Structure 1
Amino acid sequence: MSIKRIEVGPRMSQAVVHGSVVYLAGQVAKGDSVAAQTQAVLADIDALLAQAGTDKTKILTATIYLSDMSTFGEMNAVWDKWVSPGNTPARATVEAALATPEYKVEIVVTAAI
Structure 2
Amino acid sequence: MTIRRIHVGPRMSGIVINGNNVHLSGMTAANRKDRSVAEQTGDILKRIDELLADAGTSKQHLVQVNIWLSDITTFSEMNAVWDAWVMPGHTPARATVEARLALPDIKVEIQVLAALP
Give the shorter-chain TM-score range: over 0.9
The answer for unaligned runs of 5 or more in structure 2 is none
1:1-113 aligned within 5 A: 1-29=1-29, 30-31=31-32, 32-113=35-116
Q: TM-score, normalised to structure 2's length? A: 0.95
Structure 1 residue 2: deviation in Å?
Answer: 1.4
**Paired letter, 1:92:** A
Structure 1 residue 6: deviation in Å?
Answer: 1.1
CA RMSD, Structure 1 to Structure 2 (Å): 0.6
Regions of 4+ moved over 6 Å: none
Q: TM-score, normalised to structure 1's length? A: 0.98
Q: Percent identity?
A: 59
The answer for unaligned runs of 5 or more in structure 1 is none
Count of residue correspondences? 113
